[in-house]
Amino acid sequence: MTTQNEPVKFAYWVPNVSGGLVISNIEQRTSWDIDYNRKLAQIAEASGFDYALSQIRFTAGYGADNQHESVSFSHALLAATETLKVIAAVLPGPWNPALAAKQIATINHLTNGRVAVNVVSGWFRGEFTAIGEHWLDHDERYRRSEEFIRALKGIWTQDDFTFRGDFYRFSNYTMKPKPIDPLPEIFQGGSSRAARDMASRVSDWYFTNGNTPEEIKKQVDDIRGKAAANNHKVKIGVNAFAIARDTEAEAREVLAEIIAKANPEAVHGFAHEVKNAGKASPEGQGNWAKSSFEDLVQYNDGFRSNLIGTPEQIAERIIGLKNAGADLILLGFLHFQEEVEFFGKHVIPLVRELEARERVAGDKLAVAAE
Ligand SMILES: Cc1cc2nc3c(=O)[nH]c(=O)nc-3n(C[C@H](O)[C@H](O)[C@H](O)COP(=O)(O)O)c2cc1C
């Protein structure tokens, strides 16, 4: 069921990590450097994108040999744009909430409120070990993330903030200046039961891996049901890897080439890490529980959302995801600058047309029912 009449929002993955968004040796005209990314952010803003999402990684692996830090990189993109919101990933552990709250509040002032955060809980044990961070069990990571989010909100809204958690403690802490209204939005990533439960209690947004509308709807129903019981509202963002071409055959050929040129060793290595990370949850599941080799060529199961085809097909499938409960579509591309522009020119206007048609149909039904 559509949960809102608002236009669906669009975000793109900031390529602040090398290797793009697919673990494949296919040619990718995407760069992780700042000049490329500044221009990309400007193109995205002019093309109708609402948000950009930066990634945090501390170590190499699976093609991501170079990684720029997410918060400072996000700030550089905000400084190069005027309306785009940039969501900076932060990982509890390396970040503590006092620093994150202060950093994000300052960027919020510097950019007229355009910064948001994505609190991620971690999947890569080798990364934690490399930087001397304790690797907590799956659900413990989420317990820590929840305290982290509660602390951010407390610091941003209260004077004399006092908090007694298992991971974080604050005593009569007053941070000034507080962020300007509205508060920075808090996103989170992950699809396990612990992730959904956390979303239903504290996050403003829940990001999930790519999937079919039917599977997304199951997650949405679960989260929204629990959120309602907690008197909390949470919006949903769904990942997708878009391949929009003039014909469906062309788009499918690109997908086939990405998979044919996948780096099997790197994909298996990534699969090993993420499946182990999910298996450590009590249900033995997580974001990637059902992912095949082909799915894992894209880090967050983006092919599963099936935004691969002509602009018309993609626009209809976006409406399908929206009707399953998605408020935002998070997009990865092969050649970011060209494809973000193409998407903005050829797909987003069709989505807006379909949304307008659905609104008119909805209004007619409402009138007939009166
Ligand atoms: C949209 C999205 C963005 C993410 N970004 C990052 C990131 O930048 N750095 C990171 O270490 N993990 C990132 N993750 C991974 C999550 O932190 C989490 O470990 C993973 O989704 C597994 O969660 P689960 O076991 O609850 O399914 C991201 C996940 C999603 C869905």
Q: For the residues 119-123, what does the mean pLDDT come to?
A: 94
Question: What is the pLDDT at residue 81?
Answer: 98
Question: What is the pLDDT at residue 291?
Answer: 86
3-state helix/strand/coil string of the chain: CCCCCCCCEEEEECCCECCCCECECCCCCCCCCHHHHHHHHHHHHHCCCCEEECCCCCCCCCCCCCECCHHHHHHHHHHCCCCCEEEEEECECCECHHHHHHHHHHHHHHCCCCEEEEECCCCCHHHHHHCCCCCCCHHHHHHHHHHHHHHHHHHHHCCCEEEECCCCEEEEECCCCCCCCCCCCEEEECCCHHHHHHHCCCCCEEEECCCCHHHHHHHHHHHHHHHHHCCCCCEEEEEEECEECCCHHHHHHHHHHHHHCECHHHHHHHHHHHHHHHHCCCCCCCCCCCCCHHHHCECCCHHHHCCEECHHHHHHHHHHHHHCCCCEEEEECCCHHHHHHHHHHHCHHHHHHHHHHHHHHHHHHHHHHC
Q: Positive or negative, the Cα torsion across 26, 68, 332, 343? A: negative
Question: What is the pLDDT at residue 63?
Answer: 79
Q: 189 alpha carbon to ligand 1 midpoint, in Å?
A: 5
Closest ligand 1 atom to 289 CA: 27
- Are 332 and 241 in contact by the 8 Å Cβ rule? The answer is yes
Q: 33 alpha carbon to ligand 1 midpoint, in Å?
A: 22
Question: What is the pLDDT at residue 370?
Answer: 79
Q: Does residue 1 carry a pLDDT above 60?
A: no
Task: Return the best residue to mutate from 59, 121, 203 for the ligand 1 pocket (most ligand atoms within 8 A of CB).
Answer: 121
Q: Does residue 3 carry a pLDDT above 50?
A: no
Q: Does residue 222 carry a pLDDT above 60?
A: yes
Tell me how crowded residue 158 is: count the other CB atoms within 10 A of its CB: 15
pLDDT in tens, 248-274: 999 999 999 999 999 998 899 888 888
Report the candidate in 269, 14, 15 with the shortest Cα–Cα distance to residue 126. Answer: 269
Closest ligand 1 atom to 191 CA: 27
Q: For the residues 71-77, what does the mean pLDDT come to?
A: 98
Q: Is 16 in the pocket of ligand 1 (CB under 6 A)?
A: no
**Measuring from atom 9 of ligand 1, which residue has the nearest CA?**
56
Q: Does residue 69 carry a pLDDT above 50?
A: yes
- The full set of domains in the chain, from first to last, is 9-369 (3.20.20.30)
Task: Return the best residue to mutate from 9, 69, 123, 208 for the ligand 1 pocket (most ligand atoms within 8 A of CB).
Answer: 123
User: What would the two tokens of residue 310 be?
Assistant: 């002509």
Residue 315 backbone class (left: φ over 0; alpha: ψ -120 to 50; beta: rest) = alpha
Task: Return the best residue to mutate from 73, 125, 287, 327 for the ligand 1 pocket (most ligand atoms within 8 A of CB).
Answer: 287
For residue 342, what are the CA distances in angstroms to 40, 242, 252? 12, 11, 17
**Measuring from atom 23 of ligand 1, which residue has the nearest CA?**
190
pLDDT in tens, 163-220: 999 999 999 999 999 999 999 999 999 999 999 999 999 999 999 999 999 999 999 9
Confidence grade of residue 366 (pLDDT, cut at 50, 70, 90): confident
Q: 188 alpha carbon to ligand 1 midpoint, in Å?
A: 8
Q: 197 alpha carbon to ligand 1 midpoint, in Å?
A: 15
Q: 136 alpha carbon to ligand 1 midpoint, in Å?
A: 15
Q: For the residues 153-166, what does the mean pLDDT come to?
A: 98
Q: Does residue 51 carry a pLDDT above 60?
A: yes
Q: 17 alpha carbon to ligand 1 midpoint, in Å?
A: 15
Q: Does residue 86 carry a pLDDT above 80?
A: yes
Note the pTM of the prediction, 2 decimals.
0.95
Tell me how crowded residue 176 is: count the other CB atoms within 10 A of its CB: 7
Q: Does residue 91 carry a pLDDT above 60?
A: yes
**Measuring from atom 5 of ligand 1, which residue has the nearest CA?**
55
